Amino acid sequence: MENQNLTAALDFCSYYQIEYTLLNSFEEAGLVELTVVNETRYISQTQLPGLERMVRLHHELDINVAGIEAITHLLQRVQAMQQEMLDLRNRLKSYE
């Protein structure tokens, strides 16, 4: 993974004014995967939108990590179901 596609975890925490321990909690819960390069922890750019959503849920709605974990799981299931519906619609169109 190239360094240009990575954001330093400390920079992310500083920008969003969150404690580094919150990021560690997200990682321990399996909500985000941090990459270590030269003893510095990074977040891939593909994970940033989801991580930003989790930070907003935590700050604006005061939801704890367990609640964010449940919300994230449910959102992933909804997205999977939407994709499945789209696939089924496309298959149905081929029969028309």
Q: What is the pLDDT of residue 94?
A: 87
Closest CA to 41 of 25, 22, 18, 24: 24
> Domain tally for the chain?
1
Average pLDDT per 10 consecutive residues for the chain, totaling 96 residues:
79 94 94 92 94 95 95 96 96 88
Q: What is the pLDDT of residue 1?
A: 47
Q: What is the pLDDT of residue 86?
A: 96
CATH number at residue 54: 1.10.1660.10
- Quick one: 51 exposed, middle or buried, by C-beta within 10 A (0-12, 13-18, 19+)? buried
- Please state, in angstroms and rounded to a whole number, the distance separating the CA atoms of residues 34 and 40: 10
* Domain range enclosing 61: 3-95
Secondary structure of the chain in the HEC alphabet?
CCHHHEEEHHHHHHHHCCCHHHHHHHHHCCCCCEEEECCEEEEEHHHHHHHHHHHHHHHHHCCCHHHHHHHHHHHHHHHHHHHHHHHHHHHHHHHC
- Please state, in angstroms and rounded to a whole number, the distance separating the CA atoms of residues 79 and 62: 24
Q: What is the pLDDT of residue 24?
A: 93
